[in-house]
Amino acid sequence: MFNKANVKLEHDEIFIKEALLCAKKGLGWTNPNPMVGALIVKEGKIISQGYHKRAGLPHAEIEAINLAPKTVKGATLYINLEPCCHFGKTPPCVPAIIKAGIKRVVCSSLDPNPKVNGKGIAELKKAGIKTSVGILDKENQKLNEAFFTFEQKKRPFVALKYAATLDGKIATKTGDSKWLTNERARRYARLLRSQYQAVLVGINTVLKDNPRLTVREKSKKEPIRIILDDELKIPLKSQVLADSNVIIAALTKKMNREKKLKLREKGVSILEFSGKKISIRKLLQELYKKEIISIL
């Protein structure tokens, strides 16, 4: 039996899938914002699309409206996250959607940010705009796992990357091995760095490997480098200190005071902690305050 509701839902899923693909274009660039894509559909055809390129730049729905070759009045907006209704680095999107004459908004998920979280949808409904929420919600939450973790758990999303031999070892007994991985795996590691806002290592990695922890591609965004270094043992000529995009976590009582001053002259940010060792819980709390949403 023909069911109009089922057909409409299928169409909604098709367009939301396209919005999710658009959103992925912002991978690695939108932090601390989520990845968002938007489509404007009129008479069953996509007339415009946009995605959020970077924090501080227009949101996806605004870009889609601005890029439309003709009026969007009476069209449907497909977007993977609820439109915002508050002033941040950019003006709110809801008033622009209303002004443009959009008649229906379909989105995957409510924004977990308490400044929005249902308020954007409520304002759209109040303006007489039809709304549908929850289309491919799980897929969007997976895509924006870091953002949802940051907003809901009030800490960065943390992923572990390590290389090991078949027998589970990560280095030789003497620690003199350089790489366990081949060039292809190392390229993938650099790609992963570009997808996270920050990369975290311990001081032993810096001392033994002298890594750069960079992406090495101009088209990719370089991550913030975070180093756990209780005593500030890090050599001032370390490759990881090539620029000031570095945070070092150290212990107040153990740190080298003279080194601290020299590092700060280089522009390095130093987080000081009390106690006998750095508390990962407290470290994540401090990084949350710095709006770091994902760590590799």
Active-site residue list? 61
Angle, vertex CA 31, rays to CA 72 and CA 27, nearest 5: 70
Judge contact between 199 and 211, C-beta under 8 A. Answer: no
- Quickly tell me which residue has 């991550």 as its tokens: 223
Within the chain, residue ranges assigned H as helices are 4-23, 60-67, 94-100, 119-126, 137-143, 145-153, 183-195, 203-209, 257-265, 280-289
Q: What is the C-alpha separation between 36 and 23, in angstroms, rounded?
A: 4
Token pair of 117 as six digits: 């979280």
Q: Residues with Cβ < 8 Å from 234, sequence gap 6 or more?
A: 203, 206, 207, 227, 240, 241, 248, 259, 263
User: Cβ–Cβ contacts within 10 Å for residue 9, how many?
Assistant: 14
Q: Residues with Cβ < 8 Å from 98, sequence gap 6 or more?
A: 123, 124, 127, 129
- At residue 132, φ and ψ (nearest 5 deg) are -135, 130
**DSSP helix/strand/coil, 262:** helix
Q: What is the C-alpha separation between 249 and 272, in angstroms, rounded?
A: 6
Token pair of 126 as six digits: 């109040």
CA 207 to chain centre: 29
